[in-house]
Structure 1
Amino acid sequence: VKAGPGAFLKITTDDRFPHAVENEAFFMAMAADCGLPTAHVERVVDSAGESALLVHRFDRKPAGRWGMKQLHQEDALQLLDLYPLDKYEVTVEEIGESVRKVVASWPQSGTALILQFAFGYLIGNHDQHAKNVSVLEVQGDLWGLSPIYDMLCTLVYGDGAPALTLNGQDEELTRADFVALTQTFGIREAPVLRRLDLMLAKARPWLDRLGEIGFDPLLTGRLRGALVERHAALAG
């Protein structure tokens, strides 16, 4: 499979993370179905049966007949002026504050950020760190939150607590923690919770489709049980 100028192939060959491509493809599709802005990804298979993720770049747009223009993008670590090794050493609140300072519409971007972290917690993405949140030049000097990328379940690989703390906690989050986040972000609670409930309603059927990823039935059953519990905690 050949990636064009606006896409790249993401290949995972580490035996510690079986079905990583299928994992990410599944949960990125789930995020999109839940109404979250996401990078467009496709699972592709070569002639030898090896799979990879074809990722369409959201930081590129057509320019002229054949050209591509790169849009400026900065992740939260850059916004915070921190080093790459610090990507696990910040809080969700600090990431939000860094984004708030640069985006054109904070209510819109702040709501999207809350939903991104809620979705990540729901699916067991415990590796969601400061480089997984970024802002993107959308028009001229206007910036917005980038679409979701690198969204997959790491809980299934034995990843412990979530990488970042939220409301002083890094595990067993509930709806109340995300309500508190709306208050910290200075965003109206009711619209965020309506969006959260819509996301949860769309997410619920996907929890019955986890077998599509390819994990063995026992592991799939355990994963489903864990995610159903998280779904209930977020629904309140």
Structure 2
Amino acid sequence: MIAQQIINAVSLGGVYALLALGLAIVFSIVGLINFAHGELMTLSGYALLAALVFGLPFPAAVLVAVSCGALAAVAMERVAFRPMRGASVTSLLLTSFAVSSLLKVVFQNGISARPQAVAMPSWMTGAFSFGDFTIGVGPSISIVVSALALIALELFLRRTVTGTAMRAAAEDFNVVRLMGIPASRIIATAFLLSGLLAGLAAMLWVAQRASVDPLMGFTPVLKAFIA
């Protein structure tokens, strides 16, 4: 029983880690605490639901949903935050609150204020048994995907030119300009990565709960922010 609880805690911690990294990437480069990050997670959840309703296979639906999270993050940066570049921290925070509130209203009024069931494939509800020890497929996938995502992000930040530029921008944005890399490109990439991580977190969250609701991203992002 204790081992099972540890596995569940680790799988849930993986979701929080992905969300926390998404928040940290944007904050380290832009200096913005993006309170609309949870809505990227919610959007990805609804995108998964829509893709499954339209008959896409589950793996393809997951790919579409994660891509929607990433594209929505880039659009959010372009439409809401880029015009505010150079503004005060307070203005940026108010903008992120406004975007978050707007998206919540869209989800509640445009889709439904009630939780929507997501039809998960039967193999996702199974479990692995090792003697008296049983671990669900969902938590297992959550742990593996979270670990692989963290490794991939580490490799990207350390082994690519863009990743190196992002690390430099986190220290001093003037260094990025000296490298001849447009600031807009680095900031857009930061939001893209945050959206990807939010999308992945949404998939892992939905996989364990099989439902989506307009406030789905609020509590996980709040806990990730505290972490």
| Range into which the TM-score falls when normalised by the shorter chain | under 0.3
TM-score scaled by length of structure 2: 0.28
Higher relative helix content: 2
Structure with greater contact order relative to length (CA < 8 Å, sep ≥ 6): 2
